[in-house]
Chain A
Amino acid sequence: MVGTKTVRKLIKILGRDRVVTSWLPLNSYSYDATILRGCPEVVVFPETSEQVADVLVLANREGIPVTPRGAGTGLSGGAIPHKGGIVVVMTRMNRILEIDPDNWIAEVEAGVTNIQLQRALEPLGYMFAPDPGSHKVSMIGGNVAAGAGGMRGLKYGVTKDHVLGLEVILATGEVAVIGGKMGRIAPWELDLPGLIVGSEGTLGIVTRAIVRLTPLPRKVVTLLAVYDELEAAGNTVSEIIAGGITPATLELMDQMVIKAVNAFVRLDFPEDSEVVLLIEVDGLLPSLERQALDISRICRENGARLVKRAFDSQMREELWLARRSAVGAIARLRPSYDLEDVTVPRNRLTEMFRRVSEISQEYKLDIGMLAHAGDGNLHPLILFDERNKDELERVNRAKQDIFKATLELKGTLSGEHGIGLSKLTFLPWLFNPQEIGLMQRIKSSLDPNWILNPGKRLPEPPGQTAAGSAKESLLNKEFMVKTFSDFESLLTGLRDILGPDGVVTDPQQLTSCYGWDTNHHPDVAVFPTDARQVAQALSLASKYRIPVLPRGGSANFRRGLPPYAGGLAVVLDHMNRILEIEVGNHTALVEAGVTLKQLERVLTPHRLFFPPDPVNFDRSTIGGAVAVNAAGTRQFKYGSTRDSLLGVELVTPEGEIIKAGGYTVKNVSGYDITRLVAGSWGCLGIITRAVLRLRPLPETELVMLISCRTILDAVELSSVIVRNGAVPTALDILDGSVAEALRRAGNFFPAAGGWVLMVIVDGFGEDVKEQAGVIESLAIASHAQVITIENRQEIDKVRQSRCSVSAALDDNQGPWFRCSAIVSPVGTAQAIAASRRLAVVNGLEVKIVAHLGNGHIHWWLRPGRQEIIQQLTEMAWSLDGTFIIHYPENYFYPPALRKEESTVKELAGRIKLAFDPNNIMNPGLII
């Protein structure tokens, strides 16, 4: 394996003092926080990305396994070099490179510890939301690799929600910069950062990360509820979630854990309590009291023996120290523990507690319970002594039973610790061979020789050899189905699968429903009714190598796609059942053809909603929304479809039906195919089902339309609003003429000469009221006029009108050219002003709408001239941004994307081929 020659080369790359080869120190890299072991042959301490890349080039050439390692606090054996080889220790790449509070981002090296970043951010009033139990020592690189969660994941999400961009060194030594500072990823890119997050170092070594900052909450209320029964606590959790309150944290500890912790931190509650819940609500002041009271009431109603409130910050800190030390303190009771990480839907929590305690009795094992209960994420702690072989065997059997119970309850193997080595053998319980096969192909596409952390997270395919790279040329290959007879037999095959009514070939119908114009329409359209039909149709399409164009409500393809001639349109209209709504878990399982409108109708009575509300809301389907990663007016607060998607069922062009993700908010079992599919524009496969994350309908919502004189006034006002601690759902700006057009179309917009700032606020009544008051006084102070709309129907109307700008601008005086850019929030004003100047100088008409919160700018230009587009593109790039052209019917400009497009595209191409080896899915569209 690692010979002396290789060691010499490593020394040449890194220097003698950064390469360790002697036996004792090597042994220090044989463990992590689990009981697993495996000794490396050499350990290296790189200090630059180039060194990491050089090490990987060497390892790849010589076929040496490489295990990346951060702080070594992992709980699934991910950092254990069980195959020997090289351990790459990232501790010395520990610089914070940039903190940009104005744009809410920070860039750090992988070896920066979580707490190091938190401490740097705190004085500025920000935090990095992921806060795993080990946050005082674990590193951002490790957090990213593991997809770390934490205590406040319930409200603030997990690592994947806060990573905007990464520098990743691939197995081949290529340095890939994916994602970016602004807007995470362009609308036409695969979510590559999303794939890397949680990939446990099997796809690349993360060397840098650009992360999103979150404002520190204004105020926190910490509650402690003590129970005599585990189930009562479980019920409390379900009821709090179902009641529409989203605490920042909802942690559970049982008696055994309390006892262990109590010996370390003196806690002020009875040691004989069966179970305690540690609950924290944070946010704006006005409603906090009410939330705290509501929670206390729910606790008592469910049988809490005692509910108390942390009276000062010191008590709060002690409670948290106790919670965070729980795992480490368990070693006081027995020498070894097995910490599991199973996650179940939140309404199954109580059931799962019951199962675990049965298992504990059956195998005569002490199993402590620690849980991020609000996420359904359980950490059963099985205590034992690894020197006792009989006990060890019982532990293994108990563990298996816990997994079985979890999967029966529609849960997942790991919520935040990862699969690593410890759960690898159980992966086939969760995924079928096709699903594992797909993940293996993804791995091969980025790491052809399987040198990166091999044998972890994914079983190795038998006789693994270099794969994937040879197929790349396919991306540019011509398609078959050229002859008439081929086409006829394809049609026959399709009719066999779908019945004669399920196949349409009439060119007129194809043009009007699924085409751009008479020259650009599919050759044939099919209307499958279930995933199996989709799979069969795709297999056939693969066989004939005919391009496949998935279609939902056809709400977006004109906006985003270049016109395409020929191919097989797979229309999902007929797959439109809402299969299941779990009110207690805030999830819905729906078929791809369900429209957003249809879903809304069903959800509203449950006081739930699905946030994305894109243009063409009435027509948009879930499948389409996922495919284009749709977003709408609520994006600033709730993100895009990707952020509200928990799982998908995807039919690959090979005819495999793949299930990815699941019913839990925390889920790191398997590569994050769900995120990859969101925003993939149908180029990876056909989405047939989706599991959606729903949110409780806000108690109150209101819209404020503020007329500002200049763009600078508007931008200044909006930044004050944000700095004031409010997170509006929308913070949009419309130029006066757009507002005027909307007003003429029958909306509430004021007739203002300058700009109209549209602020939408939602949440608890008193919070919204306070925010509105603050915003109004800020507006008045800057001499702006305010119209406040509180009526439900009127709000919906405004919301809709915001989505119908194109219609309102349609004045029969020639078409508008549509384009957008995503720039930094602080760069927005600059970009808007510059684009206006550009238009004036060139004698163009321009209309502008922008989302100030996230730096999205939309332009309507008339006439759309190539050189103007070029200048706008360059301007967006100069602001580190991305430029997007929307295809109107008569303008065919090549799409201009972000600058470093080529690497990203190349990577995306490799991943596409893992899904779609014949490249038939929307070929050439985004990849």
Chain B
Amino acid sequence: MDGLLEHIAQEVYRCSKCGFCQEVCPTYQATGEEFSVARGRNQFIRRSLEESHWQKELGRYLYSCLMCAACVKVCPSSVRTDWAVLYGRAQLAARYRHPLYKRFLFKGILADQQRLKVGVKALAFYQKSGIRWLVRKTGLLKLMGVLGKAEGLLPPTATHSFRELLPGLKRRKFTPAHRVAYFLGCLVNNFFPGIAQATINILEHNKCEVIIPPAGCCGIPHLTNGDLEMARRLARQNIEEFLQLGVEAVVVDCASCGHALKSYPELLSNDPGYHSSSREFSAMVMDISEYMVKTGFKKNMGLLSTTVTYHDPCHAVRGMGVAEAPRKILQAIPGVTLVEMDESDRCCGGAGSYGLTYYDLSRRILDRKIKNYQKTGTSLLATSCPSCMIYLAHGMATHNLNGQVVHPVQLLDKAYKAGTAG
């Protein structure tokens, strides 16, 4: 048996069932159900372990976890329910096959950049050709059930992925003071090439030479779906790829990717060959905002005159411990007023593909987030995770709000541009 998993399984025995997780668990807050709270999930796993029996139906309650880790932070015994749930999912994945669409997504598309490219093109074709119109008009969506409800969730794909644009990208010439690698994640690459552009712009503006190696998926979709083997394969690939570059940091602009990369040492803990390299690698991984703040980013910015609030992605605030840095960046921009929202570190409900599989529940969680946003009265909602951005934008659209969802790097980039233009 997997050493890591064995270790994680012990977590659930530390749960004293005090129930303190109810205070923060977004799924419990939305439902009031014991089977939708960290304590409940821990007990499911403990019972399955004790009875050596993993029911297929368990998936429903383990996959309803957002893996936001809010519970871990308030747990007096620090039970890592997110990892425990992951353990449970791995047990289920080993016994029962995922639904077809998931297998197709994880094994077929996300495992390989080339195939992902093809998949995204297909999605783009669906969105832009008449098919989407046809599907929507014919009521096919209703037949598709939950997937149908979530159909409008994905943003329009970019005409060209960022990687496709890379060869033609104009790079600035300067004497570099720093040398960093940029981990270009799948979502940013395919849906938000603008963010990637902004990340590179602000790095270069601060005299950083940016190397963009052909990274694979960070592995988080596989990890969260219980496919540890695939996640490990991707981890090893990425470590090999990045360590040879001899850069001072691996910069990420996607909180989920960052969290995954930071978890490699734990993920590979039963692989002695990667014991030190995984540690070395994860120590180099750094959120873009944090890297900017740490290296003392330039303040020669122009005026933006806007109000903004910041949503803490789970994978940033709890996954990587990043909360201050993005706020410091936003506050450094002249004319930008940062207004804190209530419960800024509460999950938005997006949680990767969660919004697809638990649409109704995730909508209730999203609604709470949007309400908190509305109370701030700001025109911008900033966050540093593209997955949150997709979901928050969906929330804006369904609530008919004009607010715009942005990544802090986009604002900083804009401010630098305003500075040089002026």
Considering the chains assembled together, what is the distance between the CA atoms of A113 and B14 in angstroms? 25
**A22 interfacial by beta-carbon distance below 8 Å:** yes
Known contacts A89-B32, A137-B23, A329-B76, A24 near B44 by CB under 8 Å: yes
CB neighbours (8 Å) of B15 from chain A are 331
Asked if A27 contacts B18 (CB within 8 A), the reply is no
List 16 additional A-B contacts (Cβ < 8 Å) besides A327-B18, A328-B77: A23-B57, A24-B57, A24-B60, A28-B44, A31-B17, A71-B22, A89-B32, A89-B34, A137-B19, A263-B78, A325-B20, A326-B76, A327-B76, A328-B16, A328-B75, A332-B14
Is B43 in contact with A31, judged by CB distance below 8 angstroms?
yes
In the complex, what distance in Å separates the CA atom of A495 from the CA atom of B388? Answer: 87
B395 at the interface (CB under 8 A from A): no
B133 interface residue per 8 A CB criterion: no
How many residue pairs bridge A and B at CB < 8 Å?
93
Q: Restricting to A78-115, which residues have a CB under 8 Å from any CB of B?
A: 89, 91-92, 94, 111, 113, 115
Q: C-beta contact mask, A239-262 vs B, less than 8 Å → 1, else 0? A: 000000000000000000000010
**Is A227 at the interface (CB under 8 A from chain B)?**
no
Return chain B residues, CB-CB under 8 Å to A337: 16
- Bound form: Cα–Cα A45–B19 in Å: 18
**Smallest CB separation, A94 vs chain B (Å):** 7
Contact status B18-A328, CB under 8 Å: yes
Most buried by A among B33, B44, B60, B76: B76
Check A134 for interface membership: any CB of B closer than 8 A.
Answer: yes
Chain B residues lying within 8 Å of A23, measured Cβ to Cβ, are 57
Query: In the assembly, what is the distance between CA of A261 and CA of B16, in Å?
Result: 14
Q: Most chain-B Cβ atoms within 10 A of its Cβ — which of A92, A137, A263?
A: A137
Q: Min CB distance, A158 to chain B, in Å? A: 20
Contact with B along A320-359 (1 / 0, CB 8 A): 0000011111111001010000000000000000000000
In the complex, the answer to whether B23 meets A136 with C-beta atoms within 8 Å is yes
Chain B CB within 8 A of A128 CB = no
Give per-residue flags for B6-28: 1 if the beta carbon is below 8 A from chain A beta carbons, else 0: 00000001111111101100000
Q: With both chains docked as a complex, state the minimum distance between the C-beta of A266 and any C-beta of chain B, in angstroms.
A: 13
Asked if A29 contacts B34 (CB within 8 A), the reply is yes
A2 at the interface (CB under 8 A from B): no
With the chains together, A189 CA to B76 CA distance in Å?
Answer: 44
Say how far A418's CB is from chain B's closest CB, in angstroms: 16
User: In the assembled complex, how far is the CB of residue A16 from the closest CB belonging to chain B, in whole angstroms?
Assistant: 14
One of B16, B61, B75 near A24 (C-beta < 8 A) = B61
| Closest chain B CB from A699 CB (angstroms) | 40
Whether the pair A328, B32 counts as a contact (CB closer than 8 A) is no
Using a CB–CB cutoff of 8 Å, the interface residues on chain B facing chain A are 13-20, 22-23, 32-35, 40, 43-44, 47, 55, 57-58, 60-61, 75-79
Question: How many Å lie between the Cα of A718 and that of B190 in the bound state?
Answer: 69
Residues in B whose Cβ lies below 8 Å from that of A263: 78
B35/A28 in contact, CB under 8 A: yes
List residues of A (13-34) whose CB comes within 8 Å of B's CBs. 22-25, 27-29, 31-34
| A28, A89, A137: the one within 8 Å of B43 (CB) | A28
Residue A72, interface by CB 8 Å: yes
A332 to B15, CA, bound (A): 9
Q: Which residue of B lies closest to A29 (CB)?
A: B34
- Which of chain A's residues have a CB closer than 8 A to the CB of B55? 24
- Cβ contacts under 8 Å, A89 to chain B: 32-34
Contact A71 B19 (CB under 8 A): yes
5 A–B contacts from the bound complex (CB under 8 Å)? A24-B61, A31-B43, A45-B33, A264-B76, A337-B16
Residue of B nearest to A25 (CB): B35
- Give Cα distance in the complex from A487 to B191, angstroms: 99
B61:A25 contact, CB within 8 angstroms: yes
Let me know if A73 is at the binding interface, CB within 8 A.
yes
Q: Which 7 A-B pairs have the closest CB atoms?
A: A91-B32, A328-B76, A331-B16, A325-B76, A328-B18, A329-B76, A28-B34
Residues of A within 8 A of B47 (CB): 27
Give the B-binding residues of A (Cβ under 8 A).
22-25, 27-29, 31-34, 45, 71-73, 89, 91-92, 94, 111, 113, 115, 134, 136-138, 261, 263-264, 325-332, 335, 337
Most chain B beta-carbon contacts within 10 A, residue among A27, A28, A332, A337: A28
Which of B33, B44, B77 is in CB contact (< 8 Å) with A331?
B77
Please name all residues of chain B whose beta carbon is closer than 8 Å to the beta carbon of A72 when the two chains form the complex: 19, 34
Are A73 and B14 CB-contacts (below 8 A) given A28-B35, A94-B32, A327-B76? no
Q: B residues within 8 A CB of A326?
A: 76
Give bound CA distance, A27 to B57, whole Å.
13
CA distance in complex: A28, B57 (Å): 14
A25 contacts which chain B residues (CB < 8 A)? 33-35, 61
- Interfacial chain A residues near B35, Cβ < 8 Å: 24-25, 28
- Chain A nearest CB from B33 CB (Å) reads 7
Which residues of B have CB within 8 Å of A45? 32-33
Contact A33 B16 (CB under 8 A): yes
Select one of B19, B22, B33, B77 contacting A332, CB under 8 A.
B77
B17 and A92 within 8 A (CB): no
Q: Which residues of A contact B57 (CB under 8 A)?
A: 22-24
B37 vs chain A, min Cβ distance (A): 8
CA distance A45 to B30 in the complex (A): 13
A327 to chain B, nearest CB (A): 6
By the criterion CB–CB under 8 Å, are B33 and A28 in contact? yes
B44, closest chain A residue (CB): A24
* Bound-complex Cα distance A240 to B168 (A): 79
When C-beta atoms are compared, the residue in chain A nearest to B48 turns out to be A24
> Given the complex of chains A and B, what is the CA–CA distance between A137 and B17 in angstroms?
12
Task: Determine the distance from Cα of A8 to Cα of B20 in the docked complex, in whole angstroms.
Answer: 34
Interface contact A134-B58, CB-CB below 8 Å: no
- What CA separation (Å) do A134 and B17 show in the bound complex? 12
Out of A22, A33, A111, which one reaches B18, CB within 8 Å? A33
Beta-carbon contact of B33 and A33 below 8 Å: no
Query: Which B residue's beta carbon lies closest to that of A265?
Result: B76
The answer to whether A137 touches B14, judged by C-beta atoms less than 8 angstroms apart, is no
The complex places the Cα of A71 from the Cα of B32 at a distance, in Å, of 9
Inside 8 A of B20's CB, which chain A residues have their CB?
134, 136-137, 325, 328
B40 CB contacts on chain A under 8 angstroms: 28
B135 to chain A, nearest CB (A): 28
CA distance A337 to B13 in the complex (A): 12
- Name which residue of chain A comes closest to B40, CB basis: A28
Chain A neighbourhood of B79, CB < 8 A: 331
Residues of B within 8 A of A94 (CB): 32
Report Cα–Cα, A122/B23, bound state, in Å. Answer: 18
A residues in contact with B44, CB < 8 Å: 24, 27-28
Give the nearest-CB partner of A327 in chain B: B18
Q: Known: A24-B44, A73-B19. Is A335-B76 also a contact (CB below 8 A)?
A: no
Find out whether the CB atom of A331 lies under 8 angstroms from the CB atom of B14.
yes
Shortest C-beta distance, B142 to chain A (Å), equals 19
Within 8 Å CB of A264, what residues of B? 76-78
Question: B16–A137 contact, CB under 8 A?
Answer: no
Which residues of chain B come closer than 8 Å to A27, judged between CB atoms? 43-44, 47
Whether the pair A73, B18 counts as a contact (CB closer than 8 A) is yes
**In the complex, which of the residues A25, A31, A328 has the most CB atoms of chain B within 10 Å of its own CB atom?**
A328
Q: A24-B58, A328-B76 are in contact. Are A134 and B33 (CB under 8 A)?
A: no
Contact assessment for A335 and B18 in the assembled complex, using a CB-CB cutoff below 8 Å: no
Q: Which chain A residue has the least Cβ–Cβ distance from B10?
A: A335
Central interface residue in B18, B44, B57, by most chain A CB within 10 Å: B18
Closest to A89 in B: B32
Q: Which residue of A lies closest to B76 (CB)?
A: A328
Question: Measured between alpha carbons, how far is A22 from B60 in the docked complex, in Å?
Answer: 12
Decide if B32 touches A335 in the complex (CB within 8 Å).
Answer: no
A134: which of B19, B34, B78 is its contact (CB, 8 Å)? B19
Inter-chain contact B16/A327, CB cutoff 8 Å = yes
Greatest chain B CB density within 10 A among A24, A138, A261 is at A24
State which of A22, A111, A115 has its C-beta within 8 Å of the C-beta of B32. Answer: A111
